[in-house]
Amino acid sequence: MYALAALGIILVWRTSLVMHFAQGSMGMFSGTAVAFVLNRTGAPLWASVLVGAAVAIALGFAVDFAVIRRLRRATAVGKEIVTLGLIMVFLGLAPILFGTEPMLLPKAIPDGALTIGDAYLSYNGLLNICLGVAIAAGLFVMLQKTKIGLAIRATASNEQTARLMGIPTRRVTVLAWAAAGVLGMLAAVMIAPATTVTPTFMNTVQVTALFACVLGGFQTFYGPVLGAYLIAVAGNFLQLYVSSVWGEQLLYLLILLFLLVRPNGLVGKTYLKKV
């Protein structure tokens, strides 16, 4: 699920060159919408997720149309600050629209676990991992093989040239924002059963997803996914064998140290700025 959130961030970064700090809170918002629909109407999980996806797409569209598109003249820092502002708006809106009580989201597969040696893996965890891999793989195929994927990649490599070549870069950008929203929503739905649905439950996901991008490098689409799985595995390992309280902090520090050795990430290329 970190991989999905990280994919959303990288999609937005590559197409509109905005560091998407609001990925977590947008995911939280539509994730809360899922929980709201589920708890209030008693609709099945899949239907709620569909509603959540609709909310996420609408949010992505709204944000791009109302804000990001009008920021052409603002600096990169200005755009990042705007995503910070978006975090606050979504955090403020969620309790007003969906109520302040924490909600619960059930697992897609309620119980049962797979035992491999000493470790055990719940079927739900397995489903999440498989879904994550499948969605990531699907996205890659789309990026590499389809016309839309080509348009996204062209926009990512150079927006101006892409526009000159007749690619509707605006539509690509809006698509990226909507896709990022859906990915964030899915990540929220996957992580929700482990905690309660409150406005801040996606903070860790946001941090980890950003770190996955850093670890994997911002230049490729697959780097962040790789980074996310590495972080998840390493995090579990540290929490199990070193300290359940301090494992996470230790992991973050390790990644910071890793930046000293490979500043551009695992599969990153050197970043050159043209003058």
Partner 1 sequence: MSTTFTAAGRLARNPHVGYAVFGAALMTLPVLAGSGLMMTSTLMTVGFTLIYAIVAMGLNLLLGYSGLISLGTAGFMGLGAYLAAYVQDDLGLGFWVAVLAALVIPTVIGILVGVVSLRVRSIYLAIATLTISEILLKTFEQAEWFTHGTAGKQSHYPVILGVQADRALVFGIIVVALVLVMMLTHNIVHGQLGRALHAMRASEVAAQAMGVNVLTYKLFAFAVATLYAGLAGALYLFFLKSSYPSTWNLFLSLNVVAMVVVGGLRSIYGTVVGAFVIFAVPELVLKRLPVIGDVAGLPYIFSGVLIIVVIMFFPQGLRGVWDVGRRMASTRRPVSAPVDAARDEVAAR
Which C-beta is closer to partner 1: that of 44 or that of 92?
92
Distance CA 83, CA 68 (A): 9
- Verify binding: residue 264, partner 1, rule CB under 8 A: yes
Do residues 175 and 4 make contact, with C-beta atoms less than 8 angstroms apart? Answer: no
In terms of phi and psi (left: phi > 0; alpha: psi -120 to 50; beta: otherwise), the region of 4 is alpha
Query: How far does CA 191 lie from the centroid of its chain?
Result: 12
Q: Which is nearer to partner 1, 151 or 238 (CB)?
A: 238
Binding mask 15-34 for partner 1 (x = CB under 8 A): ----x-x-------------
Q: Which is nearest to 154 in space by CA: 178, 137, 171?
A: 171
- Paired residues of 197 in beta bridges: 103
Choose which of 54, 91, 135, 142 interacts with partner 1 (CB under 8 A).
Answer: 91
Name residue 223's beta-bridge partners.
none
Residue 271 touching partner 1 (CB under 8 A): yes
Nearest to partner 1 of 73, 147 (CB atom): 73
Cβ-based nearer residue to partner 1, 220 or 248: 248
CB 151, CB 168: distance < 8 Å: yes
Q: Which long-range contacts (CB under 8 A, 24 or more apart) does 57-63 make?
A: 57/178, 57/181, 57/182, 59/26, 59/29, 59/30, 59/181, 60/26, 60/174, 60/177, 60/178, 60/179, 60/180, 60/181, 60/182, 61/174, 61/177, 61/178, 63/22, 63/26, 63/177
* Min dist. Cβ of residue 240 to partner 1 (A): 18
The reply to whether 54 sits near partner 1 by the rule CB under 8 A is no
- Chosen residue from 93, 127, 129, 267 binding partner 1 by CB under 8 A: 93
Closest separation between CB of residue 115 and partner 1, Å? 31
DSSP, collapsed to helix, strand or coil, labels residue 103 as strand
Instruction: Work out which of 42, 75, 116, 160 binds partner 1, going by CB under 8 A.
Output: 75
Comparison of 76 and 148: residue with beta carbon closer to partner 1: 76
6 within 8 A of 187, measured Cβ to Cβ: no
* Interacting residues with partner 1 between 127 and 166 (CB under 8 A): none
Q: Which of residues 197-256 bind partner 1 (CB under 8 A)?
A: 199-200, 203-204, 207, 210-211, 214, 245-246, 248-249, 252-253, 255-256
- Which residues are near partner 1 by CB under 8 A? 19, 21, 67, 70-71, 73-75, 77-78, 80-82, 84-96, 100, 199-200, 203-204, 207, 210-211, 214, 245-246, 248-249, 252-253, 255-257, 259-260, 263-264, 271, 273, 275
